[in-house]
């Protein structure tokens, strides 16, 4: 269940980013995109470990570290 929610959040963040790119012509990284992407990946990590799918969970965890790092930089 968390995988579905996490992937839905990630998809929504990509739709938002696509909208900004196509309709606004803005190519910069947006705070809301990274925020929702990070939340979605966090849910994938949690679900992966809960279900025992550790290889995917660790790969998603690596993605989580970098997306959270980008989020921290954007906040500063």
Question: Which class for 13: exposed (0-12), middle (13-18), buried (19 or more C-beta within 10 A)?
Answer: buried
| Opening angle at CA 26, ends 23 and 32, nearest 5 | 95
pLDDT exceeds 80 at position 35: yes
Please give the tally of structural domains in the chain: 1
| Euclidean distance between CA atoms 24 and 14, whole angstroms | 15
- pLDDT confidence of 41, banded at 50, 70, 90? very high
* Domain span at 13: 2-75
pLDDT exceeds 80 at position 76: yes
Taking the whole predicted model, whether its pTM rises above 0.85 is answered as: no
Contact 68, 37 (CB under 8 A): no
Contact 36, 10 (CB under 8 A): yes
pLDDT tens per residue, range 58-74: 989 999 998 999 888 88
């Amino acid at each position: 269940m968390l995988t579905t929610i996490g992937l839905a959040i990630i998809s929504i963040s990509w739709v938002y980013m696509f909208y900004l790119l196509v309709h606004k012509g803005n190519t910069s990284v947006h705070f809301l995109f990274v925020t929702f992407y990070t939340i979605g990946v966090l849910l994938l990590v949690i679900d992966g470990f809960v279900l025992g799918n550790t290889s995917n969970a660790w790969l998603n965890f690596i993605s989580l570290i970098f997306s959270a790092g980008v989020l921290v930089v954007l906040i500063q």
